[in-house]
Amino acid sequence: MHSALALVEKLMSDLIVPKNYKPVLNVKETEKAIVLLKDFFQLCLSTELSLTRVTAPLFVRSGTGINDDLNGVERPVQFPVRDMGDARMEIVHSLAKWKRLKVSELGLGEGFGIYTDMNAIRADESLDNLHSLYVDQWDWELRIDEDDRTVMHLKETVEKIYRCLKRTEFFVYDRYEQIRPLLPEHITFVYADDLYRQYPDMSAKQRETEFCRKHKAVFVIGIGGKLPDGSVHDGRAPDYDDWITESGDGHTGLNGDLLVWNPVLETAMELSSMGIRVSQESLKAQLAERGCPERAQLAFHKKLLDGSLVQTMGGGIGQSRLCMYFLRKAHIGETQASIWPEGMISECKKNGIPLL
């Protein structure tokens, strides 16, 4: 009973309730706006990055190394398949590694890629205004040349995605003039270790919030690599993004997170995670760094190490989060249908936050 009470108290402390919150759009208007916004953004993304749409799996075989391991502690939802001798499948956390297999299989040329609608279940997610059990995002993957494994190429791609965000912001304003544009003209880049040095006494999330409060749109480079104190800015699995390779000027990391300032919640909000994928060398180094060299024997990792997979970069862009930001919503449950604790549902209802 005591632990259940503590969990409820934690959920309520994590929930941000904006004072005198009133949605700009009602539920019916919101549902229509979600469709318009998603259709517009994915067209921008596919044309800006030269991506073709593909169909993606909801689940993959367990034990192949294809699923995204996130921070390495989250448990995937699993189930047996009767007609396959009870072989176990698991709901994807994301398609980070599956996409690289698909780009290699399709034989796409350099500079071309794929995107898809990714739907996932993350049962161990800590639920709050921005985090849900249900994850929906545009997962994309682009074939690149070995010479493109640079922080400069990473930044160029981030700027292309940011242009899509800016266009989408105007698209929304053009239809709902009460939602005024807020994004700055340019996105600001910062390395995670520089962010640490700037705010040494803060947690990683507090650093993001303070820096994003000032710059409004930020890309933090080097997520997963060690900071000066030996910690990491945020967790990253060792087998998709490259966070160990030197990126220049004494920094490491060829990946990062795209954050914007959320004016409703008054906090930093991650919209996208992306990066240049591991090479054979950086995969070995990162598996060793994380203390899991045995993963090299999994099917996906064997393909990468024997040279069967092309070099790519890719990432995910949260669909419900994007809608939440552009439609000025206080809770991700206003832009997606999911399941929430009863206490959170009651608190949101009491404060005029209509969960779908």
Q: What is the pLDDT of residues 254-265, one digit of tens each?
A: 999 999 999 999
pLDDT at 93: 82
Span 20-56, pLDDT tens digits: 899 999 999 999 999 999 999 999 999 999 999 999 9
Q: Name the pLDDT band for 106 (thresholds 50, 70, 90).
A: very high
Predicted pLDDT at 13: 63
> Has 50 been annotated as catalytic?
no
Provide the pLDDT for residue 73: 67
Catalytic residue among 42, 46, 68, 143: 68
15-28: string of b/e by CB count within 10 Å (b at 16+)?
bbbbeebebebeee
**Which carries the bigger pLDDT value, residue 250 or residue 339?**
339
In the residue annotation, 201 being an active-site residue is answered as no
Per the annotation, the verdict on 270 as an active-site residue is: yes
Query: Which of 257, 282, 319, 328 does the annotation list as catalytic?
Result: 257
pLDDT at 30: 95
Say whether 203 is catalytic: no
Of 42, 104, 137, 272, the active-site residue reads 137
210-252 confidence digits (pLDDT tens): 999 999 999 999 998 888 888 888 888 888 899 999 877 788 8
The whole-number average pLDDT for the span 347-353 is 91
pLDDT band (50, 70, 90) for residue 97? confident
What is the pLDDT, as a whole number, of residue 230? 82
Q: What is the pLDDT of residues 54-95, one digit of tens each?
A: 999 988 888 887 777 766 667 888 889 898 999 999 888 878
Q: Is 125 annotated as catalytic? A: no
Q: Give residue-wise pLDDT tens across range 284-337.
A: 998 998 888 998 998 889 999 999 999 999 999 999 999 999 999 999 999 999
Per-residue model confidence (pLDDT) at position 251? 87
* pLDDT above 60 for 10: no
Banded model confidence at residue 6, pLDDT cuts 50, 70, 90:
low
Catalytic residue among 273, 282, 286, 336: 273
Is pLDDT of 162 > 80?
Answer: yes
Q: Which of 69, 90, 241, 270 does the annotation list as catalytic? A: 270
pLDDT at 8 over 80: no
Q: Which has the higher per-residue pLDDT, 178 or 250?
A: 178
Whether pLDDT at 124 is above 90: no
Active-site option among 122, 207, 236, 321: 122
- Residue 7 — very low, low, confident or very high, per pLDDT cuts 50/70/90? low
- The pLDDT assigned to 154 comes to 96
The answer to whether residue 149 is catalytic is no
Q: Report if pTM > 0.75.
A: yes
Q: Average pLDDT, whole number, for the chain?
A: 90
